[in-house]
Chains A and B, each alone.
Chain A
């Protein structure tokens, strides 16, 4: 924040106005400019200042912030080159999973692959079925965005989605429909659509060649080269994601879809799952206890109130407080949670290895210097029992007030 504030140094301003001042040239020269290819160029002759012994000094670490310009603000705005397709004649449609409402890295790889198939008149369309929270369409390589979030597309609604895709196929000149071959939905939707069009799809495509693609076959033990097909299901890392261009992501609304609500498959909604039944390696939310837990009853209570799956460090397991199949780490289970709360765990390498796939780590520890805090996104320096008790109270209090507001 601090370097956002403009500070004007009147002394330097005066030197800049006075062309006879010995430091005038040094302060007025613009050392940083944009080169012809959009690359930032620095002129080494123009930056820096004379040191006390007459030797030129360049202050790369920016320690001496007052020198240089009088307005102490260096902000080079990053501008990615724009990739605009005015009137496309051909389309490539990508159906991202939007697992958890956002583009996954798998989705972004597929978008990257879509651009490797595109020529200058091809627009990449992304279709977002249902609700989502994604905002970064432009940076992910989406030229046109079609958001279909009517009621009929919510939840598990393959029939409505297939109807919509068939109508898109009929009304636009689509070269390929690309799906991530993933259990988050792409594998199913893509195969349904391929069967609907009666076209043999590329499945588990992972290595693009000139006009073909290598696919995994025999349940992943063999390779099979297939020519590019209308419907393609692609593995993660099939291509690099887009990150150097900015795309329009303009809405595609010239399309009229008439999808009827007739469905043989009824989605009855999500089932409540006991967090203790979820396998530790895939659990989305883990509360993990180590040697710093003083009161295990509080720990178990906190896990059940928060709805978290329980994990443990090796010491907690060795001491008999937790079963062996709850141990997280190199000699235990490798977890992939979205949030991992480490309570009284110091963060030994063997433990940190096991949580390398975790998105967000919260540490509760009394020791500010332990390694877990270096890994954590949020650290609370306090006693484990106190914090767990406070958490339980807080959640229960909110549930009560929620119950009241529902009753009202």
Chain B
């Protein structure tokens, strides 16, 4: 039985090159777009001003799917606009990045959207596979670990850094592309109006604090190196040496114990 065709939307935001500050596609959103390419019919959606259409052409230049702008005012909340859009237009999967490259970049958008649409949301997604029961998702955890999760669409998926790299944009295709335009629902984001952004100041390096109570301890802390120098074993048989190593590995839970 062929699997039913899924409709997906990828939420696209504008990126900013970390060094030059030039407008570009947001890299995480591009990865989400790339992942959407193999999931079926897709639309790239940005809530914002139509003046940014040129910048969004870099997404269109990936030749994955059409890109559309849900036009809202500068002060309007994109969550409200997107939520209103998805209440009318059903989508099986909504793919997003984990953090925008501009503005507050709180990473809240997918969660707020999930709350207002009452959808499950899964973070750190690096692979999606459609099955008869729904979706099988691979979640990327720290230190290279992976977890399998199943969920039924409709749902929101937040892409992880370790998802497959996005393809490059083709300049010609980007220039030829038309960016669509939809009228979005406007609801003013009052908090955001008072936000005052400054260039990131440098984080000071944390100093090692010496909390010795006596002068002798302070003297020791300042002079004696902290090198611990571990246990040294000169094993009689190599078996003995191997056992010592295995014991430590088991304590750390890296080799399964029996």
Query: A interface vs B, CB < 8 Å?
Result: 39-40, 42, 60, 99-100, 155-156, 159, 183-184, 187-188, 191-192, 194-196, 198, 200-201, 203-204, 206-207, 214, 216-225, 237, 240, 243-244, 264-271, 273, 277-279, 282-285, 306-308, 338-339, 341, 360-362, 364, 368, 373-383, 386-387, 389-391, 393-395, 398, 401-402, 405
CA separation between A220 and B105, bound complex, in Å? 9
Task: Say which residue of B139, B146, B197, B254 sits within 8 Å of A217 (CB atoms).
Answer: B197
Q: Can you list 18 residue pairs at the A/B interface with Cβ under 8 Å?
A: A155-B147, A159-B120, A187-B107, A203-B107, A224-B198, A265-B120, A271-B146, A271-B147, A285-B249, A307-B255, A361-B230, A378-B244, A379-B230, A380-B233, A380-B235, A386-B241, A391-B245, A401-B258
B254, A284: Cβ atoms closer than 8 Å: yes
Asked, given contacts A219-B99, A264-B120, A390-B241, whether A224 binds B196 with beta carbons under 8 Å apart, the answer is: yes
Closest to A100 in B: B253
Q: Which residues of A contact B191 (CB under 8 A)?
A: 200
CA separation between A278 and B238, bound complex, in Å? 30
Asked, given contacts A203-B108, A268-B150, whether A381 binds B144 with beta carbons under 8 Å apart, the answer is: no
The stretch among B37-45, B46-54, B165-173, B206-214 that forms the contact with chain A is B206-214
Output the least CB separation between A407 and chain B (Å): 13
* Tally of chain B residues near chain A (CB < 8 A): 78
Output the least CB separation between A336 and chain B (Å): 8
B18, A282: Cβ atoms closer than 8 Å: no
B149, A378: Cβ atoms closer than 8 Å: no
B120, A378: Cβ atoms closer than 8 Å: no
Task: Say which residue of A216, A270, A306 sits within 8 Å of B200 (CB atoms).
Answer: A216
A221, B18: Cβ atoms closer than 8 Å: yes
Per-residue interface assignment for chain B, residues 223 to 236, with 1 indicating a CB less than 8 Å from any chain A CB and 0 otherwise = 00001111111110
Select the residue from B114, B197, B213, B255 with max chain A CB neighbours within 10 A.
Answer: B255
CA separation between A358 and B144, bound complex, in Å? 16
CA separation between A118 and B18, bound complex, in Å? 37
Q: Which residues of B contact A386 (CB under 8 A)?
A: 238, 241
The stretch among B55-63, B68-76, B121-129, B180-188 that forms the contact with chain A is B121-129
A338, B144: Cβ atoms closer than 8 Å: no
CA separation between A40 and B121, bound complex, in Å? 56
Q: Which residues of A contact B211 (CB under 8 A)?
A: 243-244
Q: Which residues of A contact B24 (CB under 8 A)?
A: none
Select the residue from B149, B214, B230 with max chain A CB neighbours within 10 A.
Answer: B230
Closest to A377 in B: B230
Asked, given contacts A194-B108, A224-B195, A283-B143, whether A219 binds B100 with beta carbons under 8 Å apart, the answer is: yes
Closest to A394 in B: B242
Closest to B138 in A: A271
Top 8 A-B pairs, shortest CB-CB distance = A278-B144, A390-B242, A377-B230, A195-B111, A386-B238, A268-B148, A390-B238, A264-B120
A195, B150: Cβ atoms closer than 8 Å: no
CA separation between A196 and B108, bound complex, in Å? 11
A378, B231: Cβ atoms closer than 8 Å: yes
A156, B149: Cβ atoms closer than 8 Å: yes
Q: Which residues of A contact B148 (CB under 8 A)?
A: 267-271
Q: Which residues of A contact B256 (CB under 8 A)?
A: 402
Q: Which residues of B contact A362 (CB under 8 A)?
A: 245, 248
B232, A373: Cβ atoms closer than 8 Å: yes
Closest to B115 in A: A195
Asked, given contacts A377-B231, A395-B255, whether A206 binds B18 with beta carbons under 8 Å apart, the answer is: no
B258, A402: Cβ atoms closer than 8 Å: yes
Asked, given contacts A40-B213, A380-B233, whether A220 binds B142 with beta carbons under 8 Å apart, the answer is: no
CA separation between A130 and B143, bound complex, in Å? 20
Asked, given contacts A40-B214, A339-B252, whether A198 binds B115 with beta carbons under 8 Å apart, the answer is: yes
CA separation between A184 and B216, bound complex, in Å? 41
Task: Say which residue of B99, B115, B144, B198 sits within 8 Å of A282 (CB atoms).
Answer: B144
Asked, given contacts A198-B115, A220-B200, A278-B144, whether A381 binds B245 with beta carbons under 8 Å apart, the answer is: no
B89 within 8 A of A: no
B104 within 8 A of A: yes
Asked, given contacts A200-B191, A268-B148, A270-B145, whether A391 binds B234 with beta carbons under 8 Å apart, the answer is: no
A380, B245: Cβ atoms closer than 8 Å: yes
